[in-house]
């Protein structure tokens, strides 16, 4: 039986389920597809006995490798399947014909890109993730969501265009479309034009500094379930592409370090808790990017482990905020508080997600982040290591403390609401279980990683050092809150570097358009005046009362004839000489 399905990419059943969901009118039929198709993908992954290239399709003289399985694609493929399954359970209650197929096709496209063995196949699924995911933003059916979705689509398509351009340039240079061989990592160089285009393409979707605003712009405007789905695939797909294509590229160490640090300051003052999570996502991606830049086996294991657990606990945090949005109608911190009374289980799950992302011992974030920090320190990158340590404390402040405190505790917002629906609680419960299970039985996580792991996270020095860091962050938050030094939650818009194009460039464009309109009006007036002058001159010459109709004395005509003849003679003399 298994031989019949051998070589079929796990992406296929998920994408097909999404296409079928487009035409299915029955709500529960679509929901069944959302739960069963990831299980079908898992079956296809498990029956593949060993690493290799499968599902090769020959078309138009090109060879498309649709299913390349190795140690690194297996990790990302498995966690993408888990995320798709949890998302299907979480969205079971939602009756939206736009979100269901979009979420399925998006998840399937992410799987297809992870298992792509060549750059053309990668490009196809890369663009499919962009096109399918925008409907998760549009599904909120608000004007600001449509505008954010269009901006998100423009940035995503730009990333794809750069990817295709880089692939073509590399093909012209090397004669190959390959995206690394089985087990190969770090196969591209930013010193070549094609490699640089690929680097930028991956960097846009990875939300590099100054290229990150699409994330904070779009994710908080998606639906309650849409933000959960969005948090899982796009940026982690970019991390996978960087790990396979640019491992050991040293500039990534500094890019990653910056990514971990700058979101902390924005998250502290941001009022929208889903936007806080979006900044936190930037922060966590920075750890993975930094590890990829180091490029050692320990560091790449750290990036893979961090991506695996991050998809789960960040999805859990977005799930809790999605439940709050569904019941209360907002995730603005200034409007929340006291929800632990009405939503006690959601409160517990949010605190588990906060503990996991903050890397508390016994939680998944602790055993994953330890690999990256150890790898960076082992390779003597001391300044980036210090930045990562600072950023680790910042994670606890904004994701581990601020979100649970502002949403469920703090001042009482007076909301008397129901607990989240059962399917939401089930999905959050499963994610919470994985956060704890992988933190305690870390061997199960380490056995999935691309390289053999000989590392013990629960050493005395590491546990004590991490607890000291966490307790210091807890003390700082308590101190600032007690003496009212912590930034007050205000319902205002915090502008990031998007201020450049939201204000400066927008103002410059509007001014330019106004000046062009004025210039066009002046030119229209000038042409109109010139036309009137010409018409008047012609009228004066050729009308019955004009100059040509008058009687002219013969003497005057003789003078003009003499002058014209003189001019003709002078010109003829000059050319004759």
Identify whether residues 513 and 566 lie together within a single domain: yes
What pLDDT sits at residue 127?
94
Query: Which residue segment(s) compose the domain that 33 sits in?
Result: 1-177+185-245
pLDDT tens, position by position, 476-491: 888 877 777 777 777 7
Identify whether residues 437 and 321 lie together within a single domain: yes
Identify whether residues 147 and 256 lie together within a single domain: no
The domain tally of the chain equals 3
The verdict on residue 497 lying in a domain is no
Identify whether residues 484 and 545 lie together within a single domain: no
What pLDDT sits at residue 530?
74
What pLDDT sits at residue 61?
77
Identify whether residues 329 and 467 lie together within a single domain: yes
> pTM score, two decimals?
0.87
Identify whether residues 463 and 521 lie together within a single domain: no
- Bridge partners of 118, per DSSP, are 178
Check residue 52 and give left, alpha or beta (phi > 0: left; psi -120 to 50: alpha). left
Identify whether residues 252 and 236 lie together within a single domain: no
Q: Final residue of a domain: which of 222, 245, 268?
A: 245
Residues 303/243, Cβ–Cβ less than 8 Å: yes
- Bridge partners of 272, per DSSP, are 332
Identify whether residues 351 and 394 lie together within a single domain: yes
The verdict on residue 193 lying in a domain is yes
Q: Final residue of a domain: which of 245, 278, 293?
A: 245
The verdict on residue 142 lying in a domain is yes
What pLDDT sits at residue 547?
53
Provide Rg for the chain, Cα atoms.
Answer: 32
Identify whether residues 406 and 284 lie together within a single domain: yes
Q: Token digits for 212?
A: 């990150």
The verdict on residue 496 lying in a domain is no
CA end-to-end distance (rounded Å), the chain: 101
What pLDDT sits at residue 9?
92
Residues 369/299, Cβ–Cβ less than 8 Å: no
What pLDDT sits at residue 533?
77
Low-confidence ranges of the chain (pLDDT < 70): 1-4, 181-184, 498-499, 501-502, 505-506, 535, 537-577
How crowded is residue 24: how many other Cβ atoms within 10 Å of its Cβ? 16
Name the residue among 302, 305, 256 with its Cα closest to residue 283: 256
Identify whether residues 461 and 523 lie together within a single domain: no
The verdict on residue 16 lying in a domain is yes
What pLDDT sits at residue 42?
96
Residue 362 — φ and ψ, nearest 5°?
80, 0
Q: Final residue of a domain: which of 202, 224, 245?
A: 245
What pLDDT sits at residue 304?
96
The verdict on residue 498 lying in a domain is no
Q: What is the spatial distance between Cα 111 and Cα 18, in angstroms, rounded to a whole number?
A: 13
The verdict on residue 494 lying in a domain is no
The verdict on residue 549 lying in a domain is yes
What pLDDT sits at residue 480?
78
Q: Which H or E run contains 69?
A: strand 62-69
Identify whether residues 485 and 380 lie together within a single domain: yes
Residues 320/346, Cβ–Cβ less than 8 Å: yes
Identify whether residues 421 and 349 lie together within a single domain: yes
CB within 8 Å of 502: residues ≥ 6 apart: 495
CA distances from 296 to 71, 377, 379, 443 (A): 15, 12, 9, 20
């Amino acid at each position: 039986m298994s031989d019949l399905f051998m070589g079929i990419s796990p992406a296929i059943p998920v994408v097909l389920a999404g296409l079928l969901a487009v035409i299915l009118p029955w709500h529960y039929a679509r929901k069944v597809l959302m739960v069963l198709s990831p299980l079908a993908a898992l079956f296809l992954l498990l029956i593949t006995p060993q690493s290799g290239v499968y599902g090769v399709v020959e078309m138009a003289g090109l060879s498309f490798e649709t299913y390349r399985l190795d140690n690194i694609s297996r990790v990302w493929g498995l966690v993408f399947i888990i995320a798709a399954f949890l998302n299907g359970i979480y969205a079971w209650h939602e009756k939206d014909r736009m979100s269901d197929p979009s979420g399925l096709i998006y998840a399937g496209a992410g799987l297809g890109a992870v298992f792509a063995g060549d750059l053309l196949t990668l490009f196809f699924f890369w663009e499919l993730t962009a096109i399918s995911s925008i409907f998760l933003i549009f599904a909120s059916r608000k004007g600001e969501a449509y505008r954010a979705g269009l901006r998100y689509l423009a940035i995503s398509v730009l990333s794809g265009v750069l990817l295709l351009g880089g692939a073509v340039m590399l093909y012209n240079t090397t004669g190959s479309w390959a995206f690394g061989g089985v087990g190969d990592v770090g196969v591209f160089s930013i010193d070549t034009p094609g490699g640089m285009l690929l680097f930028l393409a991956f960097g846009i979707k990875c939300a590099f500094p100054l290229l990150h605003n699409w994330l904070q712009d779009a994710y908080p405007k998606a639906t309650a379930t849409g933000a959960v789905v969005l948090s899982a695939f796009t940026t982690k797909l970019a991390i996978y592409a960087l790990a396979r294509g640019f491992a050991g590229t040293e500039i990534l160490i500094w890019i990653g370090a910056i990514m971990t640090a700058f979101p902390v300051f924005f998250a502290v003052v941001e009022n929208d808790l889903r936007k806080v999570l979006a900044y936190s996502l930037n922060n966590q991606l920075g750890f993975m990017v930094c590890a990829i830049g180091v490029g050692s086996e320990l560091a790449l294991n750290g990036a893979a482990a961090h991506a695996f657990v991050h998809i789960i606990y960040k999805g859990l945090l977005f799930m809790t905020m999605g439940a709050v949005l569904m019941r209360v109608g907002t995730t603005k911190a200034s409007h929340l508080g006291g929800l632990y009374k009405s939503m006690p289980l959601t409160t517990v799950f949010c605190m588990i997600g906060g503990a996991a992302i903050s890397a508390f011992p016994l939680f998944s974030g602790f055993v994953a982040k330890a690999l990256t920090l150890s790898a960076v320190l082992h390779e003597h990158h001391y300044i980036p290591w210090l930045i990562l340590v600072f950023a680790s404390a910042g994670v606890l402040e904004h994701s581990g403390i601020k979100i649970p405190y502002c949403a469920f505790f703090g001042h009482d917002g007076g909301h008397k609401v129901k607990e989240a629906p059962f399917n939401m609680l089930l999905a959050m419960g499963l994610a919470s279980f994985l956060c704890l299970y992988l933190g305690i039985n870390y061997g199960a996580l380490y056995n999935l990683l691309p390289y053999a792991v000989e590392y013990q996270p629960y050493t005395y020095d590491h546990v004590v050092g991490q607890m000291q860091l966490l307790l210091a962050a807890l003390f700082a938050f308590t101190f600032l809150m007690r003496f009212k030094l912590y930034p007050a939650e205000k319902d205002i818009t915090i502008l990031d570097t998007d201020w450049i194009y939201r204000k400066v460039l927008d103002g410059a464009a509007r001014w330019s358009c106004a000046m062009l309109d004025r210039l066009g009006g002046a030119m229209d007036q000038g042409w109109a005046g010139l036309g009137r002058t010409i018409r008047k001159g012609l009228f004066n010459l050729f009308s019955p009362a004009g100059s040509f109709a008058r009687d002219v004395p013969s003497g005057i005509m003789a003078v003009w004839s003499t002058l014209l003849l003189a001019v003709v003679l002078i010109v003829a003399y000059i050319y004759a000489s």
